[in-house]
Structure 1
């Protein structure tokens, strides 16, 4: 009977130690990298958005993480603005935002060894309209997980 309780206590302690190590060495650093990437992408989007919107009273806008849906380590973020804040269609908005983010990345010397030389580190992955709002996703191409996510999206389209 004593051996049974020792085994149970040992299993509980092993589970606690495993969860603590996982939190300290996996979860927390991943969350920190994601927050840092989100801050960089927010700055980039807020830097180029005044060129594309008619009313800048919406700035600064903040993103929402989509990594919870697509997996750990995916540096992709969703934004939304009211449709009446821009005179552009979704396709025009996509083209101009892609160009502006490319220029922003080059101007601010954002480079990543993970992407090809001709690709921007900021990648607009999707633009859509829903309930009088224009939604768009921007990926920060700095790790292999994000690059694979974008490649998967490209295969779907």
Structure 2
């Protein structure tokens, strides 16, 4: 009788381990799909918006193709934030001014493409950080598609306390 109870307990434990492993694999797969889709949409909107930004600031940079790098490895799993680097000809325009202008363009183009945030309280895209390094302007674009991304942007807001980076959607321009 003791052997039967031991075997049943082992089977239950093995079943639980297998269940958690399968669940984790499915979650990771779903997260990869979400990340790939989010990166594709973000790239699309950045590629539409950046030339418009260059038109607004013609002495700042030239039109160019920007490649995204996910920052998930730094900030954690599930964060839909992508870093871009643009070659600039002049760093005389403040990073904050460029960030605000770019964010406005991103959200205008997102609206045209019917891209929304997962939480209607927020705009679909937020430029969460921007800085100059050498002859490049680096900027992070957050696609507000899930709670980890919203939490990340709120944390960045608390850290940086930048002007109006995280505005509720009701304050859209």
* Corresponding residue for residue 113 of structure 2: 108
* Corresponding residue for residue 95 of structure 1: 100
Distance 1:115 1:156, change over 3 A: farther
SS at the partner of 1:52?
A: helix
User: Which of 143, 150, 154 is equivalent to 1:151?
Assistant: 154
**Which ranges of structure 2 fall in alignment gaps of 5 or more residues?**
1-9, 55-60, 161-173
Q: Report how far residue 88 of structure 1 moved.
A: 3.9
RMSD: 2.8
Task: After TM superposition, list the pairs within 5 Å mapping 1:40-51 onto structure 2.
Answer: 40-51=41-52
SS at the partner of 1:74?
A: coil
TM-score of the two chains, using structure 1 as the length reference: 0.78
Report Cα offsets for 1:72-97 as digits up to 9, x if no partner. 11100100011228874423311210
**Which ranges of structure 1 fall in alignment gaps of 5 or more residues?**
1-9
Aligned length: 145
CA contact (8 A) 2:100 2:127 kept: no
SS at the partner of 1:125?
A: strand
Report Cα offsets for 1:21-68 as digits up to 9, x if no partner. 256312222111101100100000000000123422x22x11101011
